[in-house]
Amino acid sequence: MSVLQGKKVLLGITAGIAAYKTASLVRLFIKSGAEVKVIMTPASKDFITPLTLSTLSKNPVHSTFYDKEDENELWNNHVDLGLWADLMIIAPATANTLSKMTNGTCDNLLLATYLSAKCTVYFAPAMDLDMYIHPSTKDSLDSLQKFGNIMIPATSGELASGLVGQGRMAEPEDIVDFIEKDIQSKLPLKGKKILITAGPTYEAIDPVRFIGNHSSGKMGFEIAKAAAKKGAEVFLVSGPSSQTVKNSLVRRIDVTSAQEMYDACHTYFNEVDIAVLSAAVADYRPKNVADQKIKKKDASLVIELAPTKDILKSLGAIKKDQFLVGFALETNDEVSNAKKKIESKNLDAIVLNSLRDKGAGFAVDTNKITIIDKSFNEKTFELKSKKEVAKDIINEVLERIS
């Protein structure tokens, strides 16, 4: 999954021959999971049609503040467009537009939106060789970067004039790659590794039957997604679960039993910075597992159980600098029991949820949590989707490790 997934991208197109490449650029942004809106300077429509871009972006293309020929046309609010965007990219950025951006000239909708934008602004210069190396252009490029804008450097190649040299707009694939890498480099968990457990464990009775629980793994998988979106490299150790995650930063390790989860956690724990153990691990397993399916009989069946290894406590006993987070699902004396687990298992924090809270627990899409740290500070959150709960958990971890 791209870091552009879910991002709102505002693409500004100016009047350069490289504008024809923006059709591919829009498609690549859409393919990456971004939502795209396009602003064109009036002159750029000589190089590519708004119809093409509106069809590809699935959004209306804006070019002027309003349509003078349509008395019912609404004002295209440059402030709203600037606030809407998570990032803005001006490509191609001609010498004319670069100069106007530098000097605050505001004579079209694109420039007004640029001056109103609160997000990161990228620009991809595109012009002929002599224009690109002109001192005024160099001043514009330097000034815009000093303002905090990010330049996607032009490349060398054959130009529209027939000359060969620098000034060619970066290819659409390279523009998207540049932006993705720039976003990733600034993510707060970039360079961090995190271990997350999810789902239930199944403890075999015989080759057919097992002891398990109702955990779906949704909470752990959402935590893995939230951590990856912050730039972390994630080791996701999951018990049997139908949940999926598509992100190159998430490595999924499938296990079945508590012992397999124990082994996997100990394999990766020493190399991670953070561990969040949200799996619903079975507390007991059958002491003796039958080699063949146990036949049903009229007599009652007695299965002797033995305790499984306490994964969380075992990691707490060996942790060094790792930030270790546990989960507690309680039905009574919730806060008291959670605090005891923090002390007995050497945790840095615990995420508490109660089955008495409506909308919390297994196999639902929501959760209601309280996070308690090792100093017994409590922070309670309202009922939210598990996706939002996962963001809260990762943000709380970030706050404590910063």
pLDDT tens string 156-200: 887 777 777 788 999 999 999 999 999 999 999 999 999 999 999
Of 291, 300, 374, residue with least CA distance to 339: 374
Tokens representing residue 235 in the block = 């080791």
Of 164, 175, 154, residue with least CA distance to 94: 154
What is the residue whose two structure tokens read 């990219």? Answer: 89
CB under 8 Å to 129, separation ≥6 — which residues?
159, 161, 163, 164, 165, 166, 167
Q: Which amino acid is at 399?
A: E
Known catalytic residues are 213
Of 383, 384, 380, 386, residue with least CA distance to 363: 386
Residue 371 DSSP class: E
203 touches 217 (CB < 8 A): no
Measure the CA–CA gap between 362 and 396, rounded to whole angstroms: 22
Q: CA-CA-CA-CA torsion for 189, 271, 245, 120, nearest 10 degrees?
A: 20
Q: How many CB atoms lie within 10 A of CB 13?
A: 30
Q: Which amino acid is at 279?
A: A
Tokens representing residue 127 in the block = 């012009």
Full set of structural domains in the chain with CATH: 8-185 (3.40.50.1950), 193-292+304-401 (3.40.50.10300)
Measure the CA–CA gap between 60 and 62, rounded to whole angstroms: 6
CB neighbour class for 346 (10 Å; exposed up to 12, middle 13-18, buried from 19): middle
CB under 8 Å to 59, separation ≥6 — which residues?
35, 36, 37, 38
pLDDT, tens digit, 9 for 90 and up, residues 296-316: 887 888 999 999 999 999 999
111 touches 100 (CB < 8 A): yes
133 touches 166 (CB < 8 A): yes
Measure the CA–CA gap between 286 and 213, rounded to whole angstroms: 14
- b (16+ CB within 10 A) / e for 250-264: bebbebbbbebbbeb
Measure the CA–CA gap between 142 and 147, rounded to whole angstroms: 9
pLDDT at res. 165: 76
For β-strands 274-277 and 366-367, DSSP reports them as unpaired
263 touches 237 (CB < 8 A): no
Measure the CA–CA gap between 237 and 222, rounded to whole angstroms: 13
For β-strands 164-168 and 120-125, DSSP reports them as unpaired
pLDDT at res. 288: 93
Of 229, 197, 188, 236, residue with least CA distance to 401: 188
Q: Which residues of the chain have pLDDT under 50?
A: none
Tokens representing residue 112 in the block = 């007004």
